[in-house]
Structure 1
Amino acid sequence: MEQENTFRTKSGFCQILSEKIILTRDGAVGKFSEFFVGDKISRILVIYSIIVLFLFFFAFKAFQENKIATFLFNGSFVIYLLFKIKQSLNFSATPIIERNKIKEVKFYDAKFGATRSRFEVIFEDEKGNLKTRLILLPGLLDNGESETKKALQIMKAEKLL
């Protein structure tokens, strides 16, 4: 019976239970994300911050050498990454979300060739802070349309959407 409330995600499975949502990682993509992200988003933000520092150094060096195109490219990428890091501070990689802590669930459909379908689960963490957990669904090459339909049906049946 619980198997009916399980759908595939980009890196594993999502199981909707009566008290909680459990996200598991499976396969190569799941192992990769488990290694780099773990249960907290801070590891990936540290990696992005290191990239920002390197790009800032190269932008500064290009500015000193009057290489304006390189400076503008690296500088704009630094600004973009800083914006994305700030945006990601409220994200979470927690594998278990208590249903009574969920404030809202949003669905975003895929933009062909650009993004994949996803759910954004806004919930309250153990410290009382609002966090967002992204549940990325399989992509176009991985039977994404049918998996998205299945996930939508489950989320609607469980009254999360």
Structure 2
Amino acid sequence: MEDEKKFKTKTGYCHVLPDKIVLTRDGIIGNISQTVNGNGIFRILLIYSAISIFLLYKTYSSFIKGQNLFALFFVVIAFYLIYSIIKSINNSATPIIHRDKIKEAKFIKAIPRVTRSRFEILFEDEKGKIKKRIIMLPGSLNDGENETEKAVEIMKSKKIITL
């Protein structure tokens, strides 16, 4: 494994090997993420769906009671969750991405104090479907700028991304 490069992510580490990318979870945040998500996103999308259904019910009941402001509030949140579910349906939480299956990889720079920097990797899974794996980088409280620079350099040197 002398050709391995490693950088920090939000929940652990990303190991860039000659033939694959391996994401490992480390520490408290990684353990919580592993418990909640596992290696798939189905469970979290199911939770979002249940919350959306509940909010749509609350919208209806608030509208019937004449509480139009609450109804508007609930419907906006419900539709935002539904939009997020639709947008995330092809995401993956797989810990291993084979480099020969990568179709596209791009780096998205953080908006300071609003979002984190991240890599979005489009790859073909074992079933032949195109999936998207998001690799979130550390935030500003965890030396995010330096870790992001390190991660971008590693991904460039391994020819996964080109900027």
Interval of TM-score (by shorter of Structure 1 and Structure 2):
over 0.9
* CA-based RMSD: 0.8
> 1:78 — aligned with what?
78
Output the amino acid matched with 1:30: G
CA shift for structure 1 position 2: 4.4
Residue 27 of structure 1: how far off its partner (Å): 0.9
Give secondary structure in 1 for the equivalent of 2:13: strand
Amino acid of the structure 1 residue aligned with 2:124: E
**Cα offset for 1:28?**
1.1
The within-5 A match list for 1:62-141 is 62-141=62-141
Match of 1:148 in 2: 148
TM-score (norm 1): 0.97
Q: Which residue of 1 aligns with 2:29?
A: 29
Letter in 1 for 2:25: R
Structure 1: segments with no counterpart, 5+ residues: none
- Tell me the distance in 1 between the aligned counterparts of 2:26 and 2:48: 24
Q: Unmatched 5+ residue regions in structure 2? A: none
Q: Which amino acid aligns with 1:59?
A: T
The two structures have a TM-score, normalised by structure 2, of 0.96
**TM superposition outliers: structure 1 runs of 4+ over 3 Å:** none
Letter in 2 for 1:91: N
Please state if 1:59 is matched with 2:52: no
2:121 partner amino acid: V
Query: C-alpha distance in 1, partners of 2:36/2:50?
Result: 14
